[in-house]
Amino acid sequence: MVKKILFLYTGGTIGMKPSETSAGALAPAAGYLPRMLQEMPELQSADTSFELIEYEPLLDSSDMTPAAWVKIATDIEKNYAAYDGFVVLHGTDTLAYTSSALSFFVEGVRKPIVVTGSQLPFGVPRSDARNNIVTAFQVAADMPPELAQVCVVFGSRILRGNRATKISASAYDAFDSPRFPYLGTVGIDINYNSRLPIATPAAELRVQTTPPPNESIAVVRLFPGFSEQIILSLCTNPHLKGIVLEAYGSGNGPSRDIEFLESIRSAREQGVVVVVVAQPMQGKVDFGQYAAGSVLGQAGAINGKDLTTEAALTKLYYLISLGLGPAEIEAEMMRLIVGEMQS
C-alpha cells in the first residue's frame, strides 16, 4: 500500500530567495519550493507519494498568528482521511509556537504531523533544507503508530511539538526540548524512543476552528526592578484573558514586593489567568521549594510546572478559543492534555 504524505508549505526561510525589490534580502518566493520538491529523487518512492499545498500569501514566521494556526489545523482536518502523514514547512522563528499550538488545536491525532524548516534556504550551499525535508517526509511516513503526534524534526532531533523551543539562530540543531526526552534521533538511521507515546489521545480527531483574539494573552518576563505597574497596565485591556509570567528559578518572584503581589491578585480578580513558567531552559515551577515561589501561588497564580513559554501561551490561546471562563481555564491549565507537561 502506497503511503500518501501532504506537505503544507506556509513560508519561511526554507523556500526563500533573494528579493529583487529589497536589495537582495531574503523573501518568500511563490512556486519555487514546490518545483524543487518535485525534482528531489529522495521523495520519489514506489511506496510513498506526496502532494503539496502552498499557502497564499507565504508568511515569514514572524507574521504567524493564532488565525494562521487555525488555518493549518483546518487544512489538516480537511485532508486527514486522505493522507497517512503531514509535513508543515515553516519558518524557524515561531516554529515552536506553531508546533505547540497544533498539538492543542488538532486533538486526537493518530497520524504524524511533522513541523520542520531550515536555517538556510533551499539550494544555498550547505543548506540544511534538503535534509530536513527528507527526514520529515520519512518520519511522516514511518513513525511508529504508538508515537504518532505533532512533532518537530530538525537536524538530528525529533521532538515532541509542545516541548520544543528554539535554542540557536545558526546551528543546524536549532531546536531542543530541554525539559523532555527526544522522540527520536536522526543519523544514518532514524531511531525512535518508543517509550514516549501520547498517554491519553482523544478518541477521534477534533479540530478547534475558532481563533482567539491576538490581544487576549500577554507574556511577561520578571527582572530585577520589575514594577507592578506593568501587570496593572496590561489589565486595563478589556480583552486580556491570560498572562504567561516567566519567573526566576523554580517559579520565584519578588516575595517582599507587596504591590507586585497585589497586582497578581488584582489580575485574577479581573478574570485574568496568570500562569507561571520557569525562565531557565532546564527549569520547572515548584511553588513549594522556596518562599519566593509560594507567594505567587498564594497570590492566585497557576503553577505551570515544566511548560515551555510556547506551550503555556498556545495552551492558553486554545482554552480561551473554547470559550471557557477563568475558573475553567485555570483548572485545564493544571491538567495534562496532550503530553505538554508533567502530570
Provide mean pLDDT across the span 9-17: 96
- Catalytic positions, written as ranges: 13
Q: pLDDT at residue 200 above 60?
A: no
**Whole-prediction pTM:** 0.96
**C-alpha–C-alpha distance, residues 49 and 62, integer Å:** 31
Other CB atoms within 10 Å distance of the CB of residue 327: 10
* 225-245 pLDDT per residue, tens: 999 999 999 999 999 999 999
The dihedral sign for the CA sequence 295, 300, 301, 306: positive
Q: pLDDT at residue 272 above 60?
A: yes
* DSSP assignment letter at 184: E
**C-alpha–C-alpha distance, residues 197 and 39, integer Å:** 34
pLDDT for the residue 21: 67
The candidate with the shortest Cα–Cα distance to 99, out of 218, 144, 109, is 109
Cell numbers that stand for 276 in this block: 507561571
pLDDT for the residue 132: 98
Interacting residues of 331 by C-beta distance below 8 A, sequence separation 6+? none
Query: Where do the domains of the chain lie, and which CATH numbers do they carry?
Result: 3-207 (3.40.50.1170), 214-333 (3.40.50.40)
Interacting residues of 158 by C-beta distance below 8 A, sequence separation 6+? 139, 151, 152, 182, 183, 184, 185, 186, 190, 192
Provide mean pLDDT across the span 94-113: 96
pLDDT for the residue 24: 67
Q: pLDDT at residue 41 above 80?
A: yes
CB 272 within 8 A of CB 327: no
The candidate with the shortest Cα–Cα distance to 140, out of 122, 115, 157, 106, is 115
pLDDT-based confidence at residue 199 (cuts at 50, 70, 90): low
The candidate with the shortest Cα–Cα distance to 34, out of 19, 15, 6, 17, is 15
Interacting residues of 111 by C-beta distance below 8 A, sequence separation 6+? 80, 83, 84, 85, 86, 148
Amino acid at 1: M
Interacting residues of 76 by C-beta distance below 8 A, sequence separation 6+? 8, 86, 102, 106, 113, 207
